[in-house]
Amino acid sequence: MTVTDKVTKQSHAQEVTLDRDEGPRPDTTLAGLAALKPVYPGGTTTAGNASQLSDGESVAGHETDSRPENLTGRGEPVGDPAD
């Protein structure tokens, strides 16, 4: 995958291993979650209960016409994502 240094803005190819999800951090507490303000006035969505950034990536694998041979997810795509 291409990795870009945030400081120098230089990019390079690097092998990346994802070894954990980006869900709640180990030090997350209920009190901390309860203290988060809603994203929109009067709303209930906060940074603590919103979708993770990686949720959109799960759909990207299904946007092509052909199904990759090595796809090992439990779900099956239903319908056309373009619809």
pTM over 0.85: no
**What confidence tier does 10 reach under pLDDT thresholds 50, 70, 90?**
very high
At residue 11, the pLDDT reads 93
Identify the helix (H) or strand (E) that includes residue 60. Answer: helix 57-60
The Cβ-side half-sphere exposure at 41, using a 13 Å CA radius, reads 0
Q: pLDDT averaged over the chain?
A: 75
Q: What is the pLDDT of residues 17-33, one digit of tens each?
A: 877 777 778 888 999 99
At residue 47, the pLDDT reads 86
Q: What integer is the mean pLDDT of 51-64? A: 56
Interior/surface letters 57-66, b for 16+ CB within 10 angstroms, e for the rest: eeeeebeeee
Interior/surface letters 74-83, b for 16+ CB within 10 angstroms, e for the rest: eeeeeeeeee
Predicted confidence (pLDDT) at residue 55 exceeds the cutoff of 60: no
